[in-house]
Amino acid sequence: MKISVVKNILEANDRIAQDNRALFDEKDLTVINLMSSPGAGKTTLLEKTIDALKEDVRIGVIEGDIQSSQDAERIAHKGIPVVQINTGGACHLDGNMIRATFHEFDFDALDLLVVENVGNLVCPAEFKVGEDFKVMILSVTEGDDKPSKYPLMFHESKVLLINKIDLLPYVDCSIDIIRTEALKINPHLTLFEISCKTGEGLESWYTWLKDKVRKRRPAFIAKE
């Protein structure tokens, strides 16, 4: 009984996510669903990525938080369109919540939409929002046992950004173990080792992301 309720909720969400996806396709919009534990660095990565790409790529952001609008305010400082969703307790974003923001955006004027999910390494991985792909961040401060303990997130993600590598000298965490264990769960995972603080490794991520946007909308990014 309980299981069937959960299954129905997930199936209903998948249908709404498909509808969202159809609209994004029509608009040639690249959409990423950005996920991590609380405090792994989603908003900081987003700020850096906006700074690096905004001359070439028109970016919009949906900020998901249980409560507060601090993250949306940080993004708004970058002068790009941003909508805050407050879930009011819910531990993840779903297709309907994303859909409810559509009237706030002019999708014809965007190339990339980033959905920053609620900080949670579990539930967001179960709910599609209509994204092209999921991107997850793992901070080295969380430890190298996370892939084997939270496998779904690693399984569902296309990209794993291993963040805060500047802290490696001070924590007990092996990047090799993270890599090995994560690739065991998902051999197709693209990995980047980054530090949003020092900037190390970020250029490769920017290049990769711009390339994805360019593939969908080759006419737009003509500057390079």
Contacts of 174 (CB under 8 A, 6+ apart): 144
Q: Does position 11 bind a copy of itself by CB under 8 A? A: no
Tokens of 58: 């028109």
Closer residue to a copy of itself in complex, CB, 23/167: 167
Q: Are 33 and 132 in contact (CB under 8 A)?
A: no
Candidates 19, 73, 145, 200; binder of a copy of itself (CB under 8 A) is 145
Q: Least separation, in Å, of the C-beta of 123 and a copy of itself? A: 5
- Going by C-alpha positions, the residue among 132, 133, 178 that lies closest to residue 40 is 178
Residues 69-108, one symbol each (x = binds a copy of itself by CB under 8 A, - = not), give -x------------------x-x-----------------
Answer for the pair 90, 96: CB distance below 8 angstroms, yes or no: no
Applying CB under 8 A, the span of 18-26, 63-71, 76-84, 213-221 interacting with a copy of itself comes to: 63-71
Give the binding-site size for a copy of itself (rule: CB under 8 A): 34
Degrees (nearest 5) of the Cα angle 157, 105, 9?
Answer: 50
Smallest separation (angstroms) from a copy of itself to the CB of 146: 6
The residues in 20-59 that bind a copy of itself, with binding defined as CB under 8 A, are 37-39
Closest CB to a copy of itself among residues 137, 159: 137
Among positions 27, 58, 146, 214, the unique one binding a copy of itself when judged by CB under 8 A: 146
Query: What is the pattern of x (binds a copy of itself, CB under 8 A) and - over residues 105-124?
Result: -------------xxxxxx-
CB of 206 vs a copy of itself, minimal distance in Å: 22
- Exactly one of 23, 80, 152, 221 binds a copy of itself (CB under 8 A); that residue is 152
Residues near a copy of itself (CB under 8 A) are: 5, 37-39, 65-68, 70, 89, 91, 118-123, 126, 139, 141-143, 145-146, 148-152, 164, 166-167, 170-171
